[in-house]
Amino acid sequence: MANPYPYYRKLRQHAPVYYTPKYDTFWLSRFDGLVEMLEKPRNVLLSTESSIPMPEVLLRHHDGKPPLASLDPLAPMTLLHSPIYEEIRFAHSKPFRAAEVAKLEEFTRITTIRLLEDALPRGTFDLFLDYGGMLSALLTCKLFGIEDSSAREILETVNATTSYDPDRGGIDNSLFFSQMKRFMLPSIARRRAEGADGSEPLFDGLINYRMKPGGRALSDDEIADELTCAFIANTETPGKVAAQGLLALQQHPDQLAAVRCDLAVNVPVAVEEMLRLCAPAQWFLRTIHEDTEIGGVSMKAGQRVAGLVTSASRDEREYENSEEFIWNRRIRKQLAFGMGLHHCLGLHIARLQIRILVEEFLARVDHYSFDLGKAVLRPSYFHWAYSSLPVTVASHD
């Protein structure tokens, strides 16, 4: 994971559906394989063992069709099967829909400008920890009804949970939930006490949701579990994509100059290439619940299949000069957010943040450079991104 790209190239060339007996898992490395995987009918492939399970989970093999995720207590949304998955997703999805995200543009831009006004006079600052990541953390605070004073702690906590655990060979998924609940539970309790009238749909939809059959309400802990994925993804991903996207532009001065010609028009185009090459998540796993076939290979219920999304986004069969950053590349299908039923709930809010972070930075900074020797790159077993990226800037007078 320190440098996975040569391995991805070998897999795409020689073993596009690569099987590891140790984990009873197939690994898909080509673009078409990922698309085929993501377009499978509902309940054929499910994240019942997590989309990023610890290695010890994969060492336990299934004898036939595996069990579905728990409904009492309710498992986190990403583990659930249809139709309960769609119900839980719909119950809290309103703040992430395109029309609602558009209402956040002013807050996002004002906050971004304020962060730049604080950082630029210093000359050198951290492009993720002081800028992109802080915007995302402050936006998470706004969405989840948390005081802005917690933003730095939220960002640092989320960063820590994705770090590699050398003893266990992965990351501790339980940290995702235990560490994030302490930020969310007070807001959930507040909304329950206030009557959950629908005015804060992120919480209210889940507070008012009733399980079928029986009409059981969800506990505060269950609601926090359903929201943890959105909490972490919004806090971590957009800022890292924006920071590494600005690094890619700086490394291609001609492309940087082209983007600067019309920021309003060109930055949204460049954002798609940043997502293709700079999204930190390297893969996601599904457990097979119905016998299926992908890439011409038969797969049995109980086995697993993992999509190497970063490899697929670099597939030479889909993209010319596939590992090069080309700001205005035509992207037929964006894999960074997944596709189909389980596409990322936060795709609109992520694009909003990345676009504004890049626009406002380039609007105010004439020249910028990086000392990558001082940057912090700590790949985990599913994640590749700089968690600290110092930048030196020369801004407009």
User: DSSP assignment of 253-272, as one string?
Assistant: HHHHHHHHTTHHHHHHHHHH
Q: What confidence category does residue 174 fall into, taking pLDDT thresholds of 50, 70 and 90? A: low
Is the preceding peptide bond at 253 cis, omega within 30 degrees of 0?
no
- Residue written as token pair 């030479």: 316
Span 355-373, pLDDT tens digits: 999 999 999 999 999 999 9
Nearest alpha carbon to residue 51 among 330, 386, 309, 355: 309
Q: By three-state DSSP, how is residue 18 classified?
A: strand
- Give the whole-angstrom CA distance, residue 338 versus residue 311: 14
Is the preceding peptide bond at 379 cis, omega within 30 degrees of 0?
no
pLDDT at 394: 87
Span 33-44, pLDDT tens digits: 999 999 999 999
Q: Which domains are seen in the chain, by residue range?
A: 5-367+374-390 (1.10.630.10)
Considering only the C-alpha atoms of the chain, give the largest distance between any 2 of them, rounded to a whole number of Å. 68
- Give the whole-angstrom CA distance, residue 211 versus residue 84: 9
Span 122-148, pLDDT tens digits: 999 999 999 999 999 999 999 999 999
The pLDDT of 79-88, averaged and rounded, is 96
CB 46 within 8 A of CB 56: no
Count Cβ atoms below 10 Å from residue 63 Cβ, excluding itself.
Answer: 6
Q: How many CA atoms lie within 13 A of 105 on its CB side?
A: 9
For the chain, the helix, strand and coil percentages under 3-state DSSP, each to the nearest 5: 50, 15, 35
CB 157 within 8 A of CB 126: no
Span 22-36, pLDDT tens digits: 999 999 999 999 999
Amino acid at the residue 127: L
- Give the whole-angstrom CA distance, residue 315 versus residue 91: 36
Using the 8-state DSSP alphabet, how is residue 328 labeled?
T
Q: What confidence category does residue 395 fall into, taking pLDDT thresholds of 50, 70 and 90? A: low
% of the chain beyond a pLDDT of 90: 89
CB 174 within 8 A of CB 386: no
- Give the whole-angstrom CA distance, residue 267 versus residue 354: 9
Question: What is the reported pTM?
Answer: 0.95
